[in-house]
Amino acid sequence: MNGSQDPGARPSTPLHVPVLLETTLELLAPSLDRDEPSVVIDATLGLGGHSEALLTRFPGTTLVGVDRDPEALRLANARLAPFGDRFRPAHAVYDAIPEVLDDLGIDAVQGVLFDLGVSSMQLDEDDRGFSYSRDVPLDMRMDPGEPRTAATVVNEYDVRDLARIFRVYGEERLADRYARAIAQAREATPIRGSAELVAVLERATPAAMKARGHVGKRVFQALRIEVNRELEVLERAVPAALDRIATGGRIVVLSYHSLEDRTVKRALAARTVSTAPRGLPVETDETAPTFRMLTRGAPSAADAEVERNPRAASVRLRAAERIRGDSRDA
């Protein structure tokens, strides 16, 4: 995955440039670079850039690559074929990590990576419908086998629901105004393409607010999150992944907007902070934290990386290590 939230013009960078690659490898190294075999999950496989680096750097590691997009799995399979059975692909949404591991007979893993957001391939291919700066169908499905598209949301959601997703998922100040404008426009004919939708948003945007950037940026982000249930899935996925990490194992999460990062921060805080009542003189097994944070705050990419790969501009990284309490330890 490569999580740009700005599906604009085609990038000048290569098709897939893994974000914060060296930092990710360094954070996972203590749990994977060991004498005994280890397992790492790439929960957002995409085109396999991070996975290829992990399999190369850690020859004793087996990687489980999870992705909901069958085309991404096909391309990643070809890329990672030289690693043989050290690469185990799985067509699933990443909140199904427990089921994927159960199917493979794996109780606990030593590493987990989430690289959230839309992948480079999805972003750059017009027929996937993620762009607001090129005229493409309103699709935005990460798994093309799912029935609901962005066109479904735009044309069938009522005004209140449209305003809600624009406000919550897009953090859009003009959410109500845009929802009303879409509802009025679709009465004449359904809105099927990105150019049609952008035109509706343009007409509904006060002149004084057009200087803030492309009118479609926040609305398209909100539609993508709604179509793919991204935040709902993420709220389930991170705790599910944490449950399967062995003691000494680590998790690294790359987020690309504040809603993702907030969800990740909450999930990690629940495992890294004592739940004992204030003033309790002794920490019990039930209240002691089971993970420790490896990062202070949410570090971003260095200027040099952003210059090489503009899609790294909005990344925020969080990482943690299990320190105790793993009932599934191998």
Per-residue pLDDT of the chain (330 residues; tens, 9 = 90+): 444 444 333 333 344 679 999 999 999 999 998 889 999 999 999 999 999 999 999 999 999 999 999 988 999 999 999 999 999 999 999 999 999 999 999 999 999 999 997 665 555 554 555 566 677 899 999 888 889 999 999 999 999 999 999 999 999 999 999 999 999 999 999 999 999 999 999 999 998 887 777 888 899 999 999 999 999 999 999 999 999 999 999 999 999 989 999 999 999 999 998 877 776 666 667 778 999 999 988 888 888 888 888 878 889 999 999 999 864 544
Say which CATH architecture domain 21-121+230-322 belongs to: 3-Layer(aba) Sandwich (3.40)
Nearest alpha-carbon partner for 251 in 323, 329, 165, 178: 323
- How many Å is the maximal CA-CA distance in the chain? 68
Q: Where, residue-wise, is CATH 1.10.150.170 in the chain? A: 128-228
Interatomic CA distance for residues 32 and 280, integer angstroms: 36
Which residues contribute to the annotated binding site? 48-50, 67, 94, 115, 122
Interatomic CA distance for residues 31 and 255, integer angstroms: 22
Task: Dig out the tokens for 38 from the structure.
Answer: 């280890």
Q: Which CATH superfamily is domain 128-228 in?
A: Putative methyltransferase TM0872, insert domain (1.10.150.170)
Q: Tokens 């086998």 — which residue?
A: 145
**Cβ 323 vs Cβ 292: under 8 Å:** yes
**Cβ 42 vs Cβ 25: under 8 Å:** no
Which residues contribute to the annotated binding site for S-adenosyl-L-methionine? 48-50, 67, 94, 115, 122
Q: Where, residue-wise, is CATH 3.40.50.150 in the chain? A: 21-121+230-322
